[in-house]
Structure formats: structure tokens, C-alpha cells
Amino acid sequence: RAIKVEEEAFGCEENTEGEHFSENDSFTMWQQMAHPHREKYQCRFCPFSCSRTSGIKIHERKHTGEKPFSCHVCHRVFAVKCNLQVHMRIHTGEKPFRCQTCQKAFSQKSTLQAHVRVHTGERPFRCQICHKAFAVSSDLKRHKRVHTGD
């Protein structure tokens, strides 16, 4: 269960317009309009907070290890429903992301983004030790072992 962060009753430090509210509901409506990104829910395990209970629920699964979404084909489990939906493309063969240069299709947007670097030559992941650059972060991670001996 998420913990609700207490808000000031009927007042707001950032209310520079001098508005006053006789009912808490009116104040709450004003506050939500004036501060739409105010974080209301606090994680029970760390300092993270956000404005939606669903966001806290998903975040807290990182701490609890809860993974309620299961693939009916291979039984892999996920903490977030959309990750299961993306995973299902492995089984269905769906590849909705297409390279505009060579027309190769991919099941994940991030894989397409990495592929596009083949055409652009972009190498945004740079080794802090030898300054060698890589197009994919996992290639940099593997390269770092050269320096650490792992």
C-alpha cells in the first residue's frame, strides 16, 4: 500500500495569487491545477515519490520482486504489463519498427534505434579510460572488461 504524503490543509506556500479556500475539495482542485506534477505518493522502501498510485505500485515491485504478469508461452514473468506485451512480440514475430534506410524491421524501438547507428556512424557510448567509442551500450560494457581484467 502506498503512503500518502501529507499536503498543507487549505493553503499553499506557492499561492502567490492570494487565493483562499473555505473547503478542502476546492483547495485540492486548485492545487492539482496549479501543481499538476506535485508528487503525492511516497515509496515505502526508498525516497522515490510520484503523483499516481499506479506509479508507486510499479516502482515498489523493484523492491519486492513481485512480477504478476506471466507469458503463457514461455512462462517468463514481468513486473510491468507493457513489458509482457513487448515480450510477446518474440512469440508472435511482430516487428512494428522499421528502418527508413534499409527497411529492416525490429520488434523493439530500442533495437531499431541501435540499428540506425549502423547507417549514421554514431557511437555515443565512450570508454572513460581509452576513449574508444561504441554504437551500443552493451558493447561498451563488454569492452570495459579489457581494462578491469574481468
Task: Of 35, 34, 49, give the one whose Cα is nearest residue 4.
Answer: 49
CA 131/CA 144 separation, integer angstroms = 11
The pLDDT value recorded for residue 2 is: 41
The pLDDT value recorded for residue 39 is: 64
CA 65/CA 57 separation, integer angstroms = 12
CA 73/CA 62 separation, integer angstroms = 24
User: Which one-letter amino acid corresponds to residue 104?
Assistant: K
Domains and CATH numbers, the chain: 3-64 (3.30.160)
The pLDDT value recorded for residue 150 is: 75
Instruction: List Cβ neighbours of 124 (8 Å cut-off, separation of 6 or more).
Output: 117, 133, 135
User: Which one-letter amino acid corresponds to residue 146?
Assistant: V
Digit-coded pLDDT (tens) for 7-26: 333 334 333 344 444 444 45
Written as nine digits, the cell of 55 is: 506509479
The pLDDT value recorded for residue 50 is: 87
Task: Of 2, 17, 90, give the one whose Cα is nearest residue 53.
Answer: 2
Full pLDDT tens readout for the chain, 150 residues = 444 333 333 334 333 344 444 444 454 555 556 655 566 899 999 999 888 899 999 999 999 999 999 999 999 999 999 999 999 999 999 999 999 999 999 999 989 999 999 999 999 999 999 999 999 999 999 999 999 887
Cα 9 versus chain centre, distance: 32
Between β-strands 133-134 and 125-126, what pairing exists: parallel, antiparallel or unpaired? antiparallel
Q: Residue ranges of the alpha helices (H) in 7-149?
A: 24-34, 53-64, 81-92, 109-120, 137-148
